[in-house]
Amino acid sequence: MTEALADRRPVPSLDRLVADLVPPPRFADARLETYVPDPAHPSQAQAKERIGAFAAQLGRPRSGGGLLARLRGKDTAAPAHGLYLDGGYGVGKTHLLASLFHVAPGRPVYGTFVEYTNLVGAMGYQNAVELFSSASVLCIDEFELDDVGDTLLITRLIRELSDAGVAVVATSNTLPEALGEGRFAAQDFLREIQSMAERFDVLRIDGEDYRHRGGDVRTPPLAEETVREHAAATDGATLDGFEDLLAHLKEVHPSRYGAMIDDIRCVHLTGLRTITDHHDGLRFVVLVDRLYDREVPVLASGTDVAEIYTGELLASGYRKKYYRSLSRLASLARDGAALAGV
């Protein structure tokens, strides 16, 4: 009988959560040399060059804290400088961030905004500061600006680590409808980090979503019989009814979703429907992110992936998460359809 994700209740240790602070399997081999800029968007080549230059200066001594500090007998270095990669979905920001991690000297640390907030919650703020204070660079993918509490928490963490000499590089997304409005997401980011805004250089990366040129995320659902038959014939597969999965996600903390899909080669879902509730939607977003990170294909019957979130959710304050999820889920569903020969 095919296993169900709804039967999995992982309890990862704190050591496991810390060990996971590296680029996910999808970007394990990401390097600057393998990032191919789109000639139609020069900002991509410029960002690649800037990331390389930034990596080269990591670990170098920073200038002291000025004359006043020296007169007081304090050998205080200036706060570490950081980068913010701003752009739409699928333009290569995560590839560049992972590439930086792989060439950074010392002890780089990599995680998504959600992973950092979950870890700080699990181990305590001061323990997190001590853990990360020896890092050469803190890479934060998918910086979220829609949760005030979490944003303030990570902002405080960035400030303390920057003061301790840890460089910070973050990515976030510009909404599709804001792509022509300049540094839309960057302005939000700099406003939220307030007193540290001068410590970040913004790199704007333009371009189209490489997963869906033209923005099309429509992915026709598979027949339920096809989904079930493929699940039964595939080693390492799971099979869940969509309602059962949503109910299960309520019982598992999002920080454990990565462990929940350990050793899973392919996810099968029946009865996919439009999600109307934010709580269900945001939990499903986290699951899609973890599946995408690990390159786990999804075969689904029911509604079209493009209709997974209501217009109300897509227009809400969490819309960046939902749009990113649409792009990633469509990519995984197309991978799944290819496996099924559709």
| CA neighbours closer than 13 Å in the CB half-sphere of residue 39 | 0
What is the structure's pLDDT at 80?
84
Cα separation, 305 vs 302, whole angstroms: 9
Four-CA torsion 188, 313, 98, 90, nearest 10 degrees? -100
What is the structure's pLDDT at 252?
93
138, 62, 136, 139: which is closest to 105 by C-alpha? 136
What is the structure's pLDDT at 177?
46
Four-CA torsion 86, 88, 92, 93, nearest 10 degrees? 30
Cα separation, 94 vs 209, whole angstroms: 12
Burial of 44 (0-12, 13-18, 19+ CB in 10 A): buried
Cα separation, 278 vs 240, whole angstroms: 21
- Per run of 10 residues, the mean pLDDT along the chain (length 342 residues) is 93 87 93 94 94 89 48 57 85 94 94 89 91 95 77 87 93 56 56 70 81 63 96 96 98 90 96 96 95 96 94 88 90 94 82
Report the sign of the C-alpha dihedral through residues 244, 12, 237, 295, in that order. positive
Cα separation, 109 vs 256, whole angstroms: 19
Report the sign of the C-alpha dihedral through residues 242, 247, 251, 253, in that order. positive
What is the structure's pLDDT at 193?
67
On whether the CB atoms of residues 84 and 172 are closer than 8 A, the answer is: yes
Cα separation, 29 vs 95, whole angstroms: 9
User: Would you call 264 helix, strand, or coil by DSSP?
Assistant: coil
Burial of 159-169, coded b for 16+ CB within 10 Å and e otherwise, reads bbbbbebbbbb
What is the structure's pLDDT at 280?
97
Cα separation, 103 vs 304, whole angstroms: 40
Burial of 104-120, coded b for 16+ CB within 10 Å and e otherwise, reads beeebbbbbbbbbbbbb
- Find out if CATH 3.40.50.300 is the number for domain 31-205: yes
Sequence ranges of the chain with CATH classification 3.40.50.300: 31-205
